[in-house]
Amino acid sequence: MLRYSVIFFVIAIIAAVLGFGGIAGSAASIAKILFIAFLVLAVLSLIFGRKR
């Protein structure tokens, strides 16, 4: 999931440099959502992994 977040972030940077503002904004928002989902899942796995 973190890999896809980085990929969408790179796509957003390349699209912004080339002048595609709509695509850059969409890719950046997808990257942000994926990164937040990664953080939530990482914290949950740390919390629930310690109980076992």
Among 22, 1, 27, which Cα is nearest to 12's?
Answer: 27
pLDDT in tens, 16-46: 999 998 999 999 999 999 999 999 999 999 9
Q: Is 51 a residue whose pLDDT tops 80?
A: no
Whole-angstrom Cα Rg for the chain: 14
pLDDT at 52: 61
Among 38, 25, 40, 37, which Cα is nearest to 12's?
Answer: 25
Q: Which two tokens stand for residue 7?
A: 């990929």
Q: What is the mean pLDDT of residues 1-18?
A: 92
Per the confidence metrics, is the pTM higher than 0.85? no
Residue 25's contacts (CB-CB under 8 Å, 6 or more residues apart) are: 12
